Each structure stands twice: as C-alpha cells, then as structure tokens.
C-alpha cells in the first residue's frame, strides 16, 4: 500500500495480462476491478479451467477449493510464495549479491517442517498479546479518526487516513520493530507483493529487488537484536523459546518476521478499507451496525466472504489428481479463487448478495482452510472490529464519495482498493 506521500509513479504490481481470450469466460488473472462476474461464469461453465497465460489450473467452486486446501499431501503449498513471473537476471543478481535468502514463514512450508515451526510460533502468537495491544489500537484509531473529522472540507480517504497506519503500527509493535518507519515497511511490502504476485518486466523488477534485500536485512537484524537485548515482543519470545530448546533456527525466525511484516498488515489494511467501502455501499446495513454494534463481528465475517483481501491462493499437485472432474497432472499449479468460492450459491444462499445477518458467513475461505489456516486471523478481525466500533461512534453518517472511481491494484491474489473516499455532514 503506497504511502500518501509516495511520489513514485505507475503501479508497482505491473501492467497486467492482456484481455481474456475466447473461452476464458471474461476472467482476467491480474485485473481486480470487478472479477466477480467472471468468477460466476467460471463456476457455472468451467469450474476448473487451465489458463495458459499464467500456466495454472484455475479452480472456482467452494467444495473443490476446500478439498484442495484440506489435502496438503496431494496439493502442496510449496509454490504459494513463488514468483508468478520469473525474476529477471538483474533482479536475481541484486538479490544474490545482497544475501537475500528469505523463505516463507509458514504459508509455503510443508509438514513436517511446517508443523515444527508453527508449533513454536503459535505459542508466541497468543490472545494475551492481543489483549495487551488492544488499548493502543483503539487509541490510534480514535486519534486518526478525530484528525480526519476535524477537516473543514469534510472529505477523507479511509485507506490513507485510517487503514494505512493502524495494522502497520500494530504488527511493528508486536514484533518489536521501529513504529516510526511505517512508510519504509510499506515500501518493502509493496515490493514483496509486486515481485511475488505481480506481472513485472525485468527492468520493473530492479528497484523492488533492492527493496527486498533491505527488507530481509532488517528481519535478520531484528533477530540479532532480540538475541542481544531480549524485550517484550514476539521476536524476543521466539528467540527465548529457541534458547529454551525449541526447534527453530535464526533463519526460520527471520523468515517468520519476513512473512509477518507483510501479511500482518497489508491484508488487514485491505480488510479495514473493505469494511468501510462495502458497508458504506450498503447504507441500510451500515445503519444497522450503528444502531447495534454487536452486529460488527458478523458484519466482518460477511465482508471477508463478500469482498476478502485475498481472492486467490496457489497450490502444486504432487501427484496426478482430479479436481472437479478435471484431471490435474503431477507438477501442475493450481490457483484457488477463494473470492469465487465465497460467493458460491451451493454453500452461501444468494451468494452474490451482501447480508450482515447471514448465518454461515464464517464458513468463508478467506483465511484458507486446513493446516495453513491463517495464524493471525484473530488479530486482523480485532483491528477491523475496533475500527468499525469507533467509526460507528464518531462518524455514524459517513458516506462513500464516488465509489465507482475506486481503483484496485493489478496482481494475481490480492484485491486492494487504492482509495476509499468518504464525506460526512457537519
């Protein structure tokens, strides 16, 4: 998520794919403006489709995607963090010269390695830590909302005025990093997303390669600092666990930080942005939330179902398999469109409709399923809940401004609104 003060031009995620050829049902792999009509057509007409533009089998139905997530022995997560487009020689050299050896914290690892590391990390990722963070999160939310609402022009952008900072400060505090470096961490995260899920040419990759070297160097430094100084942070907890005999290396701890410093705020920034964007687009349901804030947890799950931060995730077939009646050869990649599964009417009645009273919204697949279910889901939902509580209290009459002009970044997996412009009454 680019800083509002960022002067760089152009989309860091690349130019996107060409228009969908005939037979692809309007599906554009990198276009996130409004992918849902194409998803619906794929579910109905070709629920498992091979897309030669990205070399993946695209899977769109709920039951098929849940089954793939659940069968980690057949469908490996090892390609979840692999670059969609091969890195060019210049980028590879920059990263090699800079000592870049980062690997996935958990999402691209497989058992028994995944099980071993997740067991250690899960003990440090506790509700006690969330409770410690909650007062500061609320204070930060209130401060930013009051600053925005004090503007005489009564216009704001909920991405840059609220969602941009809150999750970043939270995750930096959690891991013991410098909370004054929000823009730096966001710049690094932009580059990670661009280099992994974007569609960049060789020249476009070069500045991002330099950023990834800086990013990885910082992760290694944080681990070294925790060894030397200890502290009250998740990083210090992991280092202390290692000292007490836990089976985790410094490189693995740094890789966990490499993942958390991205996943711990980028997707939550998007979740908070989508909470405002979707609820304001349904003013009758927003007013239900204002009248009864106890509806907020259900509303958040419905937003995760209806418009999740991550709409596609990848797997690799380790042996010949069949998905949705289609034969998948060993070694093939699969792109699981959770954004489509979450609207599948076979699981969610009137799945294309937004309804905060829906009884089974929590069955969405936006956090994955199975052994890789998102470890940080409770923290993400806590931050979204606090934001909605305080918006309902301080700005109950907030309205979207020109929602049709909201743009979404081009990439394969993340549906990220560039802005969420709002207005309010005096």
Rounded Cα distance between 177 and 215, Å, is 12
Q: How far apart are CA 321 and CA 75, in angstroms?
A: 9
Average the pLDDT over 8-21 and give the result.
Answer: 41
- Mapped onto helix, strand or coil, the DSSP state of residue 249 is coil
Token output for 86: 């091969």
Residue 426 above 80 pLDDT?
no
101 pLDDT band (50/70/90 cuts)?
Answer: very high
**The pLDDT of residue 7 is above 60:** no
Question: Residue 405 CB: number of other CB atoms within 10 A?
Answer: 9
Cβ density class 293-305: b for 16+ within 10 Å, e for less: bebbbbbbbbbbb
Chain centroid to Cα 404, Å, comes to 23
Q: Give the confidence band of 413 by pLDDT, cuts at 50, 70, 90.
A: very high
Read off the pLDDT band of 10 (50, 70, 90). very low
**pLDDT (0 to 100) of residue 75:** 98
Residue 94 confidence (pLDDT) above 70: yes
Query: Higher pLDDT residue, 131 or 16?
Result: 131
- 50-65 pLDDT tens trace: 999 999 999 999 999 9
17 pLDDT tier (thresholds 50, 70, 90): very low
Average pLDDT in the chain: 92
Q: How does pLDDT run across 231-274, given as a tens digit for each residue?
A: 989 999 999 999 999 999 999 999 999 998 888 788 999 999 99
Q: How far apart are the first and last CA of the chain?
A: 30
Residues 6+ apart with CB under 8 A from 365: 62, 65, 66, 69, 338, 341, 342
Does the pLDDT at position 334 exceed 60? Answer: yes
Rounded CA-CA distance 137/148 in Å is 17
Q: Supply the pTM of this predicted model.
A: 0.90
Evaluate the omega torsion of the peptide bond into residue 210 and state whether it is cis, within 30 degrees of 0.
no
Which has more pLDDT, 13 or 186?
A: 186
pLDDT at 22: 59
């Amino acid at each position: 998520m680019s800083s509002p003060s960022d002067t760089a031009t152009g989309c860091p995620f690349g130019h996107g794919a060409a228009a969908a050829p005939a037979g692809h049902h309007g599906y554009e792999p990198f276009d996130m403006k409004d992918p849902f009509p194409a998803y619906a057509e794929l579910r109905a007409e070709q629920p498992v489709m091979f897309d030669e533009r990205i070399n993946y089998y695209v899977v769109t139905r709920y039951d098929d995607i849940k089954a793939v997530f659940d069968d980690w022995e057949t469908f490996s997560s090892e390609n979840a963090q692999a670059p969609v487009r091969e890195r060019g020689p210049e980028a590879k050299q920059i990263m090699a010269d800079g000592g870049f050896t980062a690997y996935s914290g958990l999402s691209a690892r497989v058992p028994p390695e995944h099980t071993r590391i997740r067991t250690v990390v899960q003990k440090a990722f506790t509700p006690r830590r969330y409770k410690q963070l909650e007062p500061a999160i609320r204070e930060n939310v209130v401060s930013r909302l009051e600053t925005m609402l004090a503007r005489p022009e009564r216009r704001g952008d909920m991405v840059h005025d609220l969602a941009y900072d809150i999750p970043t400060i939270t995750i930096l505090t959690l891991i013991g990093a410098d909370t004054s470096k929000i823009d730096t961490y966001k710049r690094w995260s932009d580059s990670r997303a661009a280099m992994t899920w974007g569609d960049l040419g060789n020249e476009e990759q070069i500045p991002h390669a330099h950023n990834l070297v800086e990013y990885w160097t910082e992760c290694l430094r944080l681990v070294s600092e925790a060894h030397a100084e200890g502290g009250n942070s998740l990083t210090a907890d992991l280092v202390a666990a290692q000292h007490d005999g836990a089976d985790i290396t410094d490189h693995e701890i740094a890789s966990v930080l490499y993942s958390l410093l991205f996943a711990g705020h980028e997707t939550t920034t998007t979740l908070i942005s989508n909470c405002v964007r979707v609820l304001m687009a349904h003013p009758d349901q927003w007013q239900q939330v204002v009248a009864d804030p106890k509806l907020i947890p259900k509303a958040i799950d419905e937003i995760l179902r209806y418009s999740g931060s991550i709409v596609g995730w990848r797997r690799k077939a380790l042996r010949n398999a069949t998905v949705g009646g289609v034969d998948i050869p060993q070694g093939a990649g699969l792109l699981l469109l959770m954004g489509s599964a979450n609207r599948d009417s076979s699981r969610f009645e009137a799945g294309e409709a937004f309804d905060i009273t829906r009884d089974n919204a929590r069955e969405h697949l936006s956090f994955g399923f199975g052994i890789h279910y998102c470890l940080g889901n409770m923290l993400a939902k806590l931050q979204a809940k606090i934001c909605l509580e305080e918006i309902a209290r301080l700005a109950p009459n907030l309205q979207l401004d020109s929602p049709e002009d909201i743009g979404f970044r081009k990439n394969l997996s993340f549906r990220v609104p560039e802005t969420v412009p709002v207005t309010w009454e005096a």
